[in-house]
Amino acid sequence: MKLVSALLALLVALPAASAAQTAQAAPSSKTSLDQIKSNVATATAGAEKERWTANIELWDVKLAQSGKLSAAELGMMKTSLDLIKSNVANVLYAPEKQRWEANIALWQATFDNAGQFSPAAVTTMKGLLAVIRANVAKITEMTEKERWEANRDLWAGVIGK
């Protein structure tokens, strides 16, 4: 009887464990970027929308390339990155500023390495991603959290978990 109960418990637990692992799989970069785009489309705060629009522009360029970024692509990225930098300088809410500063540092590393990261750059970038992860876990406003979770997932896909 105990063996039958144990087998039944195992049969019930296995699909649940499998479903949990499937649910934890990272979304595709297209799904994450689409999530950010649809979320930002509804944003009404001008400065916030400006930062996220520039961030989307950066992701559009980065995700279109699988190798080294060209000088023209880096030029387009620099314009968007500079806009984010100047915008974030005016952010007063410390947790928001921390997220954006980590995001800027990740983009700067991408720019500095033309999209191809050395092991040292990856180590630094993983540290920055950990800052974003910890910060995003504390966000309580749902649409803000969705944007940042999608952005976090994009970075995790680019630099590795």
Asked if residue 161 has pLDDT above 80, the reply is no
Give the tens place of pLDDT for each residue, 68-91.
899 999 999 999 999 999 999 999
Residues in the chain: 161
Q: Is residue 146 part of a domain?
A: yes
Distance CA 158, CA 161 (A): 9
Domain enclosing residue 60, as ranges: 27-159
The residue among 158, 136, 131 whose CA lies nearest residue 148 is 136
Burial of 122 (0-12, 13-18, 19+ CB in 10 A): middle
What are the CA-CA distances from residue 121 to residues 39, 80, 82, 112, 153 (Å)? 30, 21, 21, 10, 18
Give the tens place of pLDDT for each residue, 21-66.
434 555 788 899 999 999 999 888 899 999 999 999 999 999 998 7
Distance CA 154, CA 103 (A): 11
Q: Is residue 1 part of a domain?
A: no
pTM of the model: 0.82
The count of domains in the chain is 1
